[in-house]
Amino acid sequence: MDELLCSASMIKIFFDSSSFFYFAFFCFSFLRFMHKKMALTGPVPIPKICLRENQKAVSVSQKPIHEFELSFNHALPLPDSDDAIPLFGLGTWQSKAGELKVVIRAAIEEGYRHFDCAQGYMNQGEVGKAINQAIEDGLVTREELWITTKREELWITTKVWNTFHSYEAATKSIDDTLKEMNLEYLDLVLIHWPMGYEEGGDMFPKTSDQKGMRFSDVDYTETWRALEVARMEGKTRHIGVSNFGIGQIMRLIKMARPKPQVVQVEIWF
């Protein structure tokens, strides 16, 4: 369990409406998270850093994190897997329509291989088109990827939105994402938030006075079951959660098979 939470921290790199990039080093989220975790379970080992080749963690090092000259090839080994999640990723939140084609292409050219998406960002179709176009144009080739298909060097993350928390809706959400992005599988699917909204066509269902959200009674453990099945069926290689608190994470750890492999949190400067 310590290994799970130790390797769960994750970098997110965002760009605003001006396509300005900024990033938060995963160590900050790790330290904040572990400060609370240690009160429950005691000290946690320092995360290992590795290189990632052909969807596998290689050259795992025990050196302290501050001794590394980190690159796009460095990654964190994941529990219950021989793979590792790239340390640096490009977030696609708050992008304007038409921005992503240029941004994602430039990111791939610079070495990014991890793209963080979400159904709630309402731009996954554009992300998928940009990624597939880059592959077709030869920016990512078989020779560069040590692979048998043309996208295994890329790491694609998505999140199930709050209005899709029932088992059936979450399953459909994952299927729709694969179709929308024109992908055969995803690398990581997260539950975006622990609370669910009322299901329907509105992504942000408001109360009648427009001052709050209409919540559902669906427990996030039901959403998690859909993620477990999606992993077993090969629709995603890894599963985890986003914006969950300590108590919610510990509850999933006690009941889930498999357990969450990634916990994604945000750090703002």
- Collapsing DSSP to helix, strand or coil, 183 comes out as coil
Q: Which pLDDT score, from 0 to 100, does residue 152 have? A: 53
For 165-187, the pLDDT digits (tens) are 999 999 999 999 999 888 888 88
Q: Which pLDDT score, from 0 to 100, does residue 24 have? A: 40
Q: Which pLDDT score, from 0 to 100, does residue 65 have? A: 66
Lowest mean pLDDT among 21-35, 63-77, 244-258: 21-35
Our separate counts of H helices and E strands in the chain read: 8, 12
pLDDT at 4 over 70: no
pLDDT at 194 over 90: yes
Q: Which pLDDT score, from 0 to 100, does residue 255 have? A: 86
Q: Which pLDDT score, from 0 to 100, does residue 7 have? A: 37
Enumerate the domain spans of the chain: 2-264
Question: For this structure, is 121 an active site residue?
Answer: yes
Structure confidence at residue 77 as a pLDDT band (50, 70, 90): confident
Lowest mean pLDDT among 16-20, 114-118, 127-131: 16-20
For 124-155, the pLDDT digits (tens) are 889 888 888 888 888 863 333 322 233 455 77
Average pLDDT of every residue of the chain: 76
The dihedral sign for the CA sequence 11, 6, 269, 239? positive
Give 259 or 30, the one with higher predicted confidence. 259
Q: Which pLDDT score, from 0 to 100, does residue 229 have? A: 95
Residue 258: cis peptide before it, omega within 30 degrees of 0: yes
Rounded-to-integer distance, Cα 231 and Cα 238, Å: 7
Residue 150 token pair: 């043309």
Catalytic-labelled residue, pool 121, 185, 197, 220: 121
For 26-47, the pLDDT digits (tens) are 444 444 555 555 455 555 566 6
pTM of the model: 0.72
The residues, ordered by sequence, that sit 6+ positions from 221 with a Cβ below 8 Å of its Cβ are 251, 252, 255, 256
CATH superfamily label, 2-264 = NADP-dependent oxidoreductase domain (3.20.20.100)
Q: Which pLDDT score, from 0 to 100, does residue 231 have? A: 94
pLDDT at 224 over 90: yes
Specify whether the CB–CB gap between 115 and 89 falls below 8 A. yes
Measure the CA angle with vertex 79, ends 146 and 69; round to 5°.
60
Lowest mean pLDDT among 12-21, 128-137, 184-193, 231-240: 12-21
